[in-house]
Amino acid sequence: MDKLEEEKIGKEEDEHAVESDENSQGKDIEVDEDRLPSRAMAIHEHIRQDGEKELERDAMALLWSAIAAGLSMGASLLAKGIFHVQLEGVPGGFLLENLGYTFGFVIVIMARQQLFTENTVTAVLPIMQNPTLRNIGLLLRLWGVVLLGNLIGTGTAAWAFEYMPVFDEPTRDAFVKIGMDIMKNTPFEMFANAIISGWIIATMVWMFPSAGSAKIVVIILMTWLIALADTTHIVVGTVEVLYLVFNGDLQWHEFFWPFALPTLAGNICGGTFIFALLSHAQIRNDMSNARKAEAKAQADEQAKRKKEAKHG
């Protein structure tokens, strides 16, 4: 690799670098829970640092990962549809049917694929801490690329479910019923339900640093709750609604309104703004006190050195 190529790569890395304390100091900040003022701040720092890594990723890498996530989310409609057929008439079948909703989330999150409302929540915290134009631009870039990739992947999955000769008629009818249940909501109901699902997803992300080996249990429980509450999610719902578009039950404009736009807005409000803002607000004073304590310690150390130099 010649010098010009190295300079070009370095310039691209600089353009995608998040403006943060780590990058300004040229090293990672160690998250030591014993030295931080609260457990909440330790969790916040874990998630914020993960968010910075997501913001700095290459756009094409983000896109392909997001497409893979969209395809994987088709597993939620697939499992839920199969459960619906097999559990028809079984007491309590509703509970197990909605367990199928969790399949796509388990695949996507455990495989570290890019999912809008999951990875994009973590990326908000660096902006809360340093709301610069560069950081906001990186956030919008991440949102746009991930959402585009998710929609491409979910659209491909929905098309395959409709046109590939894989499923029998009862399963296809179940897919239609699942999609039609979503479309019964008004635009405002889509928006309100999406706020709840966005909030639950953000809560799930906040629990990950403490979950350890129980992470998969957290994913199943929290996403199962989303399904049981009949809330709307922009990625899973896109598979379900686009299936109706491809089989002719809906027109394209009905996908965008009343479904996609209100649901996207609700997910962003519930997960990104409300939860992230509250999560950042609860540790804001801790962060301020920690900085003051660090500054005081540095000032004391400098005063001590000056005193030693004077007497030396």
pLDDT tens digits along 221-252: 999 999 999 999 999 999 999 999 999 999 99
Contacts of 92 (CB under 8 A, 6+ apart): none
Tokens found for residue 167:
């499923």
Supply the range of the domain harboring residue 194: 33-284
Contacts of 141 (CB under 8 A, 6+ apart): 59
**Which ranges of 111-214 would DSSP assign to H, the alpha helix?**
119-122, 124-129, 133-163, 169-183, 187-211
Q: Which pLDDT tens digit goes with each residue over 126-171?
A: 887 787 888 888 989 999 999 999 999 999 999 999 999 889 999 9
Quick check: is 299 in a domain? no
pLDDT band (50, 70, 90) for residue 11: very low
Quick check: is 130 in a domain? yes
Which residue in 261, 33, 62 sits closest to 152, CA to CA?
A: 62
Quick check: is 9 in a domain? no
Residue 268 belongs to domain with CATH number: 1.20.1080.10
Quick check: is 24 in a domain? no
Quick check: is 13 in a domain? no
Which residue in 126, 110, 129 sits closest to 208, CA to CA?
A: 110
Quick check: is 301 in a domain? no
Amino acid 218 reads V
- What local confidence, expressed as pLDDT, does residue 109 receive? 93
Q: How far is CA 264 from the centre of its chain?
A: 12
Quick check: is 306 in a domain? no
Q: Which pLDDT tens digit goes with each residue over 246-304?
A: 999 999 999 999 999 999 999 998 877 666 667 666 666 555 555 555 555 565 566 66
User: Cα separation of 84 and 178, whole Å?
Assistant: 9
User: Cα separation of 139 and 56, whole Å?
Assistant: 10
Report pTM.
Answer: 0.80
pLDDT band (50, 70, 90) for residue 8: very low
Percent share of the chain, pLDDT over 70: 74
Q: Which pLDDT tens digit goes with each residue over 99-119?
A: 999 999 999 999 999 999 887
Contacts of 233 (CB under 8 A, 6+ apart): 117, 194, 197, 201, 226, 263, 267
User: Cα separation of 100 and 252, whole Å?
Assistant: 27
Residue whose tokens read 């999406």:
194
Amino acid 279 reads S
Q: What integer best gives the mean pLDDT of the chain?
A: 82
- pLDDT of 27 > 60? The answer is no
CB-based burial of residue 82 (10 Å sphere; 0-12 exposed, 13-18 middle, 19+ buried)?
middle
Which residue in 118, 96, 144 sits closest to 51, CA to CA?
A: 118
Quick check: is 290 in a domain? no
Q: What is the DSSP letter of 213?
A: G
Number of separate domains in the chain: 1
**C-alpha atoms less than 13 angstroms from C-alpha of 200 in its C-beta half-sphere:** 23
Q: How far is CA 272 from the centre of its chain?
A: 9
Q: Which pLDDT tens digit goes with each residue over 49-95?
A: 888 888 888 999 999 999 999 999 999 999 999 999 999 888 888 89
Range 11-39 average pLDDT: 53
pLDDT band (50, 70, 90) for residue 123: confident
- What local confidence, expressed as pLDDT, does residue 261 receive? 96
